[in-house]
């Protein structure tokens, strides 16, 4: 019997377009002899639209944009069939037997534990991290506190609230300059894919970077810059996770020290070196810190751990991503491909891990009665 795979993508997030690219890639990699592919598109304004079952390869990603408005127009014409229909989020729980949800959502309202919480309430197995791991890893400020408690090395950083920035801007700028040195990197606390992130080399740039980041979040983290290599490790599993080979990002754009959204998704102006050349000692530390980070947030399924490695081989954990880029040319799948697990098999492994976690949780007691 086929596994019914409900693919959630789009979402009310600045990473909406990235999510559609991810869904397109995953759907085209599915073995449709094993899976029944059911797309559910979440529009920019948060409407859920169920599309028709995918029965073959898609030609382009725009085929995955379904509109409830177009559906209503089509349904008014006799003899025409719709390509999608509006659903409530709870509607996906109608048939739970042999069903797995695959949230292919990046950023807020998808990767931050909100959708995961909904799926928990609906009692559906789903791919990837749970509520705690998703929410804590999405919030860069909370994440740093968890990793600091675990003793994982990180670069110095300052957290700033929008209300404090508006009322005490000059004082906040002075505090940042006293705690950190230029260059600094300014990031919205709850976004991924480098959205809203800027590099600041002086006070004028720092102020502009803060204003940009606050367009996306009411909390911002300002981090110390460092001259270092960007090395990433992919983690896969549940209670006994394993690590991939390491990979290195080499941006080639105007600012080769900053792997921003444009470099990631628009210019293709980067080189990914897989496996990255690191010493055995550095690799052992990278894997140890990656596993510690995964377990520290109570991860499940998949995590990509991003590190800085200096010329002196000092290692700093930059962040972890609980729903990393997941197209065939994204770092996470490429790391596993280089480790012997191709893209289509990686997807199948993640579905198996989702079912494993669901089965484990279903055995827990939910009543004080015997």
Question: Which residues are annotated binding-site positions for ATP?
Answer: 140, 185-187, 193-194, 223-230, 318-319
Residue 193 falls in the annotated catalytic set: yes
Which phi and psi (to 5°) does residue 320 adopt?
-120, 150
Q: Catalytic: 67?
A: no
Peptide bond into 98 cis (omega under 30): no
Question: Omega of the bond prior to 341 within 30 degrees of 0, cis?
Answer: no
Joined tokens for residue 362: 């279903």
Residue 133 belongs to what H/E stretch?
helix 131-138
The one-character DSSP state at 18 is: H
Collapsing DSSP to helix, strand or coil, 253 comes out as: coil
135 is a catalytic site residue: no
- Check 50, 134, 136, 193 and give the catalytic one: 193
44-70 exposure pattern, b = at least 16 Cβ within 10 A, e = fewer: eeebbbbbeebeeebeebeebbbbbee
Task: Determine the Cα–Cα distance for residues 148 and 317; give it in Å rounded to an integer.
Answer: 10
- Selection from 47, 32, 26 nearest residue 103 by Cα: 26
Residue with tokens 């198996």: 352
The residues that are catalytic are 15, 193, 330
């Amino acid at each position: 019997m086929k596994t019914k795979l409900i693919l959630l993508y789009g979402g009310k997030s600045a990473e909406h377009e990235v999510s559609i690219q991810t869904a397109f890639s995953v759907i085209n990699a599915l073995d449709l002899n094993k899976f029944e592919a059911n797309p559910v598109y979440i529009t920019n304004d948060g409407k859920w639209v169920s599309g028709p079952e995918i029965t073959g390869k898609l030609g382009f990603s725009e085929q995955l944009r379904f509109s409830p408005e177009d559906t209503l127009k089509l349904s008014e014409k006799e003899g025409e069939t719709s390509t999608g229909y509006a659903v409530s989020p709870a509607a996906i729980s109608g048939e739970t037997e042999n069903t797995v949800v695959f949230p292919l959502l990046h950023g807020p309202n998808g990767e931050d534990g909100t959708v995961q919480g909904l799926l928990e309430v609906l009692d559906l197995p789903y791919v990837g991290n749970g509520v705690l791991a998703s929410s804590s890893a999405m919030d860069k400020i909370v994440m740093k506190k968890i990793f600091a408690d675990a003793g994982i090395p990180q670069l110095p950083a300052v957290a700033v609230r929008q209300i404090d920035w508006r009322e005490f801007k000059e004082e906040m700028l002075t505090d940042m300059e006293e705690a950190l040195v230029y260059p600094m990197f300014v990031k919205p606390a709850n976004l991924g894919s480098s959205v809203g992130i800027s590099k600041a080399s002086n006070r004028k740039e720092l102020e502009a970077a803060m204003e940009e980041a606050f367009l996306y979040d009411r909390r911002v983290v300002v981090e110390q810059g460092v001259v270092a290599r960007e090395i990433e490790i992919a983690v896969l599993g549940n209670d006994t996770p394993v690590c991939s080979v390491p990979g290195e990002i080499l941006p080639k754009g105007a600012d080769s020290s900053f792997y921003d959204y444009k470099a990631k998704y628009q210019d293709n102006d980067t080189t990914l070196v897989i496996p990255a050349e690191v010493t055995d000692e550095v690799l052992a530390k990278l894997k140890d810190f990656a596993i510690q980070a995964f377990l520290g947030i109570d991860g499940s399924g998949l995590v990509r751990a991003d590190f800085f490695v200096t010329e002196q081989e000092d290692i700093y954990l930059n962040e972890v991503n609980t729903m990393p880029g997941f197209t065939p040319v994204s770092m996470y799948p490429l790391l596993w491909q280089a480790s012997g697990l191709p893209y289509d098999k990686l997807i199948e492994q993640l579905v198996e891990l989702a079912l494993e976690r669901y089965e484990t949780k279903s055995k827990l007691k939910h009543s004080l009665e015997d």
